[in-house]
Amino acid sequence: MAWLQKELRLAPRRRGFHLITSDIEAALPELAAFRIGLLHVFIQHTSASVSINENADPDVPCDLEMAFNMIAPEHLPYVHTTEGADDMPAHVKAAMIGNSVTVPIHQGRLRLGTWQGIYLCEHRDQGGPRRLVLTVHGE
């Protein structure tokens, strides 16, 4: 069994849901050496999250953004407001979606479903660069 861990710094992205599967694969050329294993993707932030969802239809990220904005709108009477109106709703969305995903590895490739991709869910208007910790365990 082998372990591998890397940090991936993502360039700032606008608020919304952004496919990052190819960014993750590009950061892990060593993946090709793993016959079987697991990739754990962890985001080191509390106002952004990571998720697995449909990667084919460009309407999906738009609809996800709309739905989460309805669930955690900026106009609620939040107490935590020192970092701007979009900050506390971002924390709520990140808490609901989560800070990590785990993907199986088979024959050096991520074993995502046909229509699945890994998303950075950016919940801030100006989130800045985001850091992911990528941990691979396998053989």
Task: Quick: pLDDT tens for 93-121.
Answer: 999 999 999 999 999 999 999 999 999 99
Q: What is the pLDDT of residues 39-65, one digit of tens each?
A: 999 999 999 999 999 999 999 999 999
Give 2-138's CATH code, choosing from 2.60.120.460, 2.60.120.200, 1.20.1260.10, 2.40.110.10: 2.60.120.460
Look at residue 44 in the predicted model and tell me its pLDDT.
98
Query: What pLDDT was estimated at residue 69?
Result: 98
Q: Which region holds residue 115: left if phi is over 0, alpha if psi is between -120 and 50, else beta?
A: alpha
Average pLDDT over every residue of 72-92: 97
Give the model's pLDDT for residue 24.
98
Exposed e or buried b for every residue in 110-122, given b needs 16+ CB within 10 A? beeeeebbbbbbb
Reading the block at residue 97, the tokens are 């979606």
pLDDT classification of 15: cutoffs 50, 70, 90:
very high
